[in-house]
Amino acid sequence: MIGIIGAMKIEIEKIDSLIQNKSEKQIAGTLFVSGTLNGKEIVTAVCGIGKVAAAMCAQTMIMAYSPDCIINTGVAGSLSDKAGILDTVIADSLVEHDMDTTALGDPPGFISGIDTVYFPADKYVSSLLFECASGIGGFKAITGRIASGDQFVASAEKKDKIVAQFDACACEMEGAAIAHTCFCNKVPFGVIRAISDCADGSSHMDYAQFLPQAAAAAAEIIRLFVEKYEK
Ligand code: ADE
C-alpha cells in the first residue's frame, strides 16, 4: 500500500477523486481515504498545516495502514534560481529549519536523540518521483534539499538564512516532519513539491495565484507515480 499525505484539501482532492473501492476512516480528527488507484492499494490523508499535524498524521497512517512507503505531496516556496514557479522539487533530504538548540552548542537543525540534521529520502521512491515529474506540463523537475518549518517564508532575509544554514532549494511546512516520523518507523518516504511562490516579498500573492496549478501538477505526478510504483 502507498500512503499519500498533503497538507491541504486542494493537494489531495484530485487523487481522492480517482480512488476506486473507496473506504473512509476518521482517526484523531484526520480523514483517511483508502482504496485502489490503477489496481494499486493507496491511502490518502489531508494532514493540515505544520510539522505537528504532519507528524501526527504520518504516525497514525503507519499504525492504521502499515503503508510500504509514504509520499508527501503539495506546494512549496522556492529557495533557488534553479526552481521557478510551477517547476517541481523532489527531496533528496529534508531538514527542520526551525529546530534550534544552537545555544547548547548543537548545529542548526540538529535533532537530539536521533542526533541528525538531515533525513535522506528513499532512493527508489525519489528517483521514480523524479522520472514522473520530468514529464509533466513542460516544467522542470529538480532534486535537492527541502527545508520545513512552522512558518510561511515570505522575506529575502529569512530565505537567505535558510539557504545559508542548510543549502535547501525549497521550503514548506510539513515534509521534514513526515520524514522524521517515517525515519523513526523505518518506512521509506519521498517528498514532491510543486513551486507556488519564491518565498520572498511577493510570495503571498504568487502563492494565491499559483496554488491551484501547482497543486494540480503535484497531483498528476502522484497519479503517475502510483501507476509505475512496483513493490
Ligand atoms: N508553501 C508554499 N509556499 C511556502 C512558503 N513560502 N513558505 C512555507 N511554506 C510554503
* 149 CA closest ligand 1 atom index: 8
Q: Which amino acid, one-letter code, is at 42? A: I
**What's the CA-to-centroid distance between 207 and ligand 1, angstroms?**
8
Does the structure show a pLDDT above 90 at 231?
A: no
From 157, 159, 171, mutation site for ligand 1 pocket: most ligand atoms within 8 A of C-beta: 171
Residue 29: pLDDT over 80 = yes
Nearest CA to ligand 1 atom 10: 172
* Span 60-90, pLDDT tens digits: 999 999 999 999 999 999 999 999 999 999 9
* Residues having CB within 6 Å of any atom of ligand 1: 75-77, 152-154, 171-173, 196-197, 199, 203, 207
Q: 168: CA distance to ligand 1 center in Å?
A: 13
* pLDDT score at 30: 97
Domain of residue 188 covers: 2-228
Give me the mean pLDDT over the 180-194 stretch: 97
Report how far ligand 1's centroid is from the alpha carbon of 172 (Å): 5
Predicted pLDDT of residue 154? 97
CA pair distance 200, 209, nearest whole angstrom: 15
Instruction: Find the DSSP H helices in 19-101.
Output: 51-65
Q: Quote the ligand 1 centre to 21 CA distance (angstroms).
A: 34
Q: Please, which pLDDT band fits residue 218 given cuts at 50, 70 and 90?
A: confident
Q: Please report the DSSP string for 85-151 in residue order.
A: TT-EEEEEEEEETT---GGGTPPTT-BTTTTBSEEEPPHHHHHHHHHHHHTSTT--EEEEEEEE-SS
Question: Which helix (H) or strand (E) segment is 159 a member of?
Answer: helix 156-166
Q: What's the pTM? A: 0.96
C-alpha cell at 40: 494499486
Residue 219 is predicted with a pLDDT of 87
Ligand 1 atom closest to the Cα of residue 199 is 6
Residue with CA nearest ligand 1 atom 9: 172
CATH number for the domain including 103? 3.40.50.1580
Q: Which residues carry out catalysis?
A: 11, 197
The tally of domains found in the chain comes to 1
Mean pLDDT of 219-228: 93
Sequence letter at residue 86: L
Does residue 215 register a pLDDT over 90? no
The strand pair at 88-96 and 118-120 is best described as antiparallel
Give the separation between CA 183 and CA 57, rounded to whole angstroms. 14
